[in-house]
Chain A
């Protein structure tokens, strides 16, 4: 069953000189108990999608269209104060553990506890006690609730953020680049932790990252985004082995693999488009080897090409043929 549904979400940023069409007609669903990956280059709209779900868009950002359904309610229609009740209680978000995601002058335990006391009728002591057990849950020493953020290393700060995100027992967690700022060893540990917590607490997680290998390790399904749109959506195993969209294919081959034959290192020629004036029709067409005139004028069709597998490309069959041909 779907615990979160996003339908036709369109979010634009209204700046002084232009409008950035950051997210357009994005649709996907998050199933209960699964980990869904949201992948793409920087600036493709993944974070904007996450912020749209939480209604945390910066000034200038506006959801123009679409529905976000959680518990049979449309979040898009909710006011800010109505969202306050939902934030952290139903959905919480783990940001990149940048130095300043935690308030540097407040003890971490208090920062975790304040989320609890805000939503539930408990004393500060009880909330702190909960914070301590949350710390243990994420692998931190519970005595460290009295420390300040700068006393933690990057990986440990991320654990604090995770503990904080779990404070009010949400059912949905959005993790926005949770391990990008960490070194590889710590990355692995944190991903392990997230996976463990997911099964232990029956969480549903949206994992946002540009790193396909991270998604490969943790997610069951993945949505690939490009220039504000979803270009492919499906099971991780299917997509990684048999990508149907030219962009996905390019992304996957951009990663050298230790196993397998040595091959040419492919990168996608060109740059991601300027979202204030994106290309007409399919946004990928300027960089796509398979494009034709229809691609330039009309939006790509969103097609079902397998169980739970969707692709936004007119020429996906041609692309499949090409790949299979190369492999043979």
Chain B
């Protein structure tokens, strides 16, 4: 186990190092004025420009810039945003935005996973039944829908026609709340649209993978042993099949965090949810490169950590790996 941990940690750190390097060079390949990397496409006075060039060492050779970049990273200095008039990038990211995205992403992936696992198991058991065919088709359809379009449809149906959900924002503008519950209620009300969109966009995939996994497990010998012991079908399904089939799902979740960022970006943009995803979009549109660089680093940390944790979890759950 110890070896496994050490190897995984080294791997994670290595990947992170690569990510940092990629991040640096990605923004240096831009054509044109090198100051774009820190200043973006904004117009600044020449004196300010000179100061910034000096501060970020843009007149120095590239490897010096790289050292400066690493130094800044170590102290958590991710640069300064230009969209937001000089607010440190770190402050923009590590604030309400991250919180909002976590809540949205966390809840969607949890619900999608749970429903996907349970329904996938039942569908595999009742293979070729009406239930199975319906759920498979439903999953294929939602899987094929572009996330943003699904969001638009939800806004159209539930926001425009039914008026039951707000069509944008995280909280209602200009409202005052008498207590925290009212605030939470409003917040959750606003989260309904993006939450449903994101959950639906992932549920199909989890369902299909789980169903596949269970069908694979059905071909294993120990399933026959379990049936020979006279166990009830329910016990066989949930105690034997599910336990083994869920194992590959754990590694899957780690990979899914990666896709979740993409889905969240789209969803947050469509619903104007005040999170990191929308920040990416805004920064791209405004060419606020410091923010983008900062987000890249944060994203890398989150995703690499998620993968690392999933590896550990898998090792803990599968007794064959533990030694």
Cβ contacts B219-230/A at 8 Å (1 or 0 each): 011101111111
Cβ contact within 8 Å between A84 and B225: no
Does A114 reach chain B (CB closer than 8 Å)? Answer: yes
Minimum CB–CB distance for B246 against chain A, Å? 10
Interface residues of A in 113-167 (CB under 8 A from B): 114-115, 118-119, 148, 150, 164
Cβ contact within 8 Å between B320 and A150: yes
Count of inter-chain pairs, beta carbons less than 8 A: 73
Cβ contact within 8 Å between A88 and B240: no
Q: Which residue of the partner chain A has the closest CB to B323?
A: A151
Complex Cα gap A87–B231 (Å): 9
Complex Cα gap A119–B235 (Å): 13
Complex Cα gap A86–B229 (Å): 9
Complex Cα gap A150–B320 (Å): 7
Interface residues of B in 204-244 (CB under 8 A from A): 220-222, 224-232, 235, 239-240, 243-244
**Known: A103-B240, A104-B319, A105-B318. Contact between A56 and B228, CB under 8 A?**
yes
Cβ contact within 8 Å between A87 and B319: no
Report the stretch among A34-42, A90-98, A216-224, A303-311 that lies at the interface. A90-98
Does B20 reach chain A (CB closer than 8 Å)? Answer: no
Cβ contact within 8 Å between A118 and B235: yes
Interface residues of A in 168-183 (CB under 8 A from B): none
Minimum CB–CB distance for B251 against chain A, Å? 15
**Known: A98-B221, A100-B220, A106-B243. Contact between A148 and B228, CB under 8 A?**
no
Q: Select A88's contact among B228, B239, B319, beta carbons within 8 Å.
A: B228
Q: Select B320's contact among A85, A93, A104, beta carbons within 8 Å.
A: A104
Cβ contact within 8 Å between A102 and B247: no
Number of interface residues of B (CB under 8 A): 22
Q: Select A89's contact among B224, B230, B244, beta carbons within 8 Å.
A: B230
Cβ contact within 8 Å between A105 and B228: no
Contacts of B222 in A (CB 8 A): 100-104
Cβ contact within 8 Å between A118 and B231: yes
Does A83 reach chain B (CB closer than 8 Å)? Answer: yes
Number of interface residues of A (CB under 8 A): 27
Q: Select B319's contact among A84, A105, A115, beta carbons within 8 Å.
A: A105
Cβ contact within 8 Å between B244 and A87: no
Cβ contact within 8 Å between A119 and B244: no
Cβ contact within 8 Å between A103 and B319: no
Cβ contact within 8 Å between A114 and B231: yes
Cβ contact within 8 Å between B230 and A95: no
Contacts of A233 in B (CB 8 A): none
Cβ contact within 8 Å between A101 and B231: no
**Known: A95-B221, A148-B320, A150-B320. Contact between A104 and B244, CB under 8 A?**
yes
Cβ contact within 8 Å between A95 and B225: yes
Contacts of B235 in A (CB 8 A): 114, 118
Minimum CB–CB distance for B303 against chain A, Å? 28
Complex Cα gap A324–B243 (Å): 61
Cβ contact within 8 Å between A101 and B221: yes
- 7 A-B residue pairs with CB within 8 Å: A83-B230, A87-B230, A100-B222, A106-B243, A114-B229, A114-B231, A114-B235
Interface residues of A (CB under 8 A from B): 54, 56, 83-89, 92-93, 95, 98, 100-106, 114-115, 118-119, 148, 150, 164
Interface residues of B (CB under 8 A from A): 220-222, 224-232, 235, 239-240, 243-244, 247, 317-320
Closest 5 CB pairs of A and B: A87-B230, A84-B230, A103-B222, A100-B221, A148-B319
Q: Contacts A87-B230, A103-B226, A148-B320 known; list 16 others, CB within 8 Å.
A: A84-B231, A87-B227, A88-B229, A88-B230, A92-B228, A95-B221, A101-B222, A101-B225, A103-B225, A103-B240, A103-B243, A104-B319, A115-B230, A118-B230, A119-B230, A150-B320
